[in-house]
Amino acid sequence: MKQNLYIRADGGKSIGLGHLVRCIALGQMLEKEVTITFVCKDAPEELSREFKTNGFAFKPIKDEEEFLTLLNKNDIAVLDGYDFTGEYQLIVRDRCGKLVCIDDLAKGKFAADLIINHAPGITDADYNAQPYTKFALGPAYALLRRSFLKKASAIPEPAVTASVLISFGGSDPLNLTLKTLKIAQTFMLLKHIGVLAGASYGHLTSLKAEAKNDSRVVIHHAVSEEKVAQLLSETQLCIVPASGSLFEALAAGCKVISGMYVANQRRIFEGFKSLGAFESAGNFEADELKQAINRCLNKQSHQRKIIDGKSPERLLNLFRAL
């Protein structure tokens, strides 16, 4: 009988979908070893359908006590969110067999048996953890879904010439998608402008209005994981924030422009920037973004391979050792 693994994470328009998406990636990596249940206070319908498509159980909850009552001593619990304090982690760990935390801030005290942080440059010394805590740190443990892992381990496909793909994640509450599209449209060298709008993107009407008079622009709304991976592998240039979207773009092998606009993106942004993984657009201010596009269009370079697609086997070995 398989061991139970409960994943506690949330997502929506205000906090984005990144926590849920990377937890789906983890679930795909572990599904043959454990029985997986997603436990969420907030999860958009599109993501709850994706849980079921992947064969994961889904348990909506109203409060944390509902989550705690699910746990038994032989279970594994995974927490991914910024509100799970060290004190709460101790309570969870006391209820279950082992605790795993997915993190990107390295702030506060941790009680986890395993901490996963796939940002470059992070070390166990950055954490206030326990003597028993193990670590899965850096892009070698990239939490990517199957379609992107396949791209990471494949030979890059020829890209569509003079093409760009704009992607600001599942919700984009600041509507940087529209701002970036308007800037990209000023570059006549760009012949194909793709725009990815996620499942919780709330500005679709204004985006379509901007795109309707420009035949170069194609909007892709709430498309599948497989379609996103395909679009990334076909584009010459991709503009993404320093989030899970950056990992996906790097895995696909396209040239990347990236930046950051919230504090939880800083470590990923600075880590990959230090590796020369992308052209920096800073905080996505208009001038910085224009300059980054100019630099990319006027120089020949090949995307450096940073993500090797082998994170599932590495993470699986760590989970087996818990």
pLDDT tens for 121-147 read 999 999 999 999 999 999 999 999 999
pLDDT, tens digit (0-9, with 9 covering 90-100), for 39-63: 999 998 888 899 999 999 999 999 9
Alpha carbons 92 and 71: distance in angstroms, whole number: 8
- Between the alpha carbon of residue 248 and those of residues 82, 96, 227, 283, the distances in Å are 22, 32, 12, 20
Alpha carbons 101 and 143: distance in angstroms, whole number: 13
* Lowest mean pLDDT segment, chosen from 33-42, 59-68, 295-304: 295-304
Reported pTM: 0.96
> What dihedral angle (degrees, nearest 10) is formed by the CA atoms of 8, 12, 14, 20?
40
Strands 217-221 and 192-197: parallel
Alpha carbons 35 and 151: distance in angstroms, whole number: 27
Q: How many CB atoms lie within 10 A of CB 294?
A: 13
Judged on CB neighbours under 10 Å (0-12, 13-18, 19+), 204 is middle
The residue-averaged pLDDT of 167-171 equals 93
Q: Is the pLDDT of residue 1 over 90?
A: no
Q: Is the dihedral of CA 301, 253, 179, 242 positive or negative?
A: negative
What residue ranges define each of the domains in the chain, with the CATH number in brackets? 3-144+310-320 (3.40.50.11190), 147-297 (3.40.50.2000)
